[in-house]
Amino acid sequence: GKAKSLLMGHALTPMFLELPFPPSAKQYWRYYKGRVLKSRVAKSYIKAVGLSWMTMKKEGFPKDSRLDMEIQVFPKDRRARDLDNLLKITLDSLEAAKVFENDKQVDAIRIVRREQHPEGKMLVLIKPIEKEK
């Protein structure tokens, strides 16, 4: 609607993303000759995150912005999953997709497990934190 169109494209307005459910940490990272690398699965997931971001806006949050993030996780099945591992992968993929410059910009994070969803998904709300005057 009208309110949503006013928010589009402005770097300091909240941004809402619907993302596919992330791969597991074991699928995301590869260990090769003592180095930690992103797998093909990770690169594919980062591309999907980037496409979701591109549908919203072209530029990421400026590197001097401080961010508050809420993530709602809708798993596709009943398997036990550590929310902290999902969080690491989500932050890494959002940074790699240039949503923000560095995940160190995130000052507050809330992650909530919700009901199951057939394909699994995540809803992510990123809000800039107003600088105190």
The share of the chain scoring above pLDDT 90, in percent, equals: 58
Please tell me the distance from the alpha carbon of residue 91 to that of residue 93, in angstroms, as a whole number.
6
Give the per-residue pLDDT at 58: 62
The answer to whether residue 8 scores a pLDDT higher than 70 is no
Instruction: Tell me the residue type at 72.
Output: Q
**Residue found by looking up tokens 């549908």 in the block:** 55
The answer on pLDDT for 11 being more than 70 is: no
Mean pLDDT, residues 107-111: 96
Q: Which residues of 17-42 are buried (b: 16+ CB within 10 A; e: fewer)?
A: bebbbbbeeeebbeeeeeeeebeebb
Q: What's the pTM?
A: 0.82
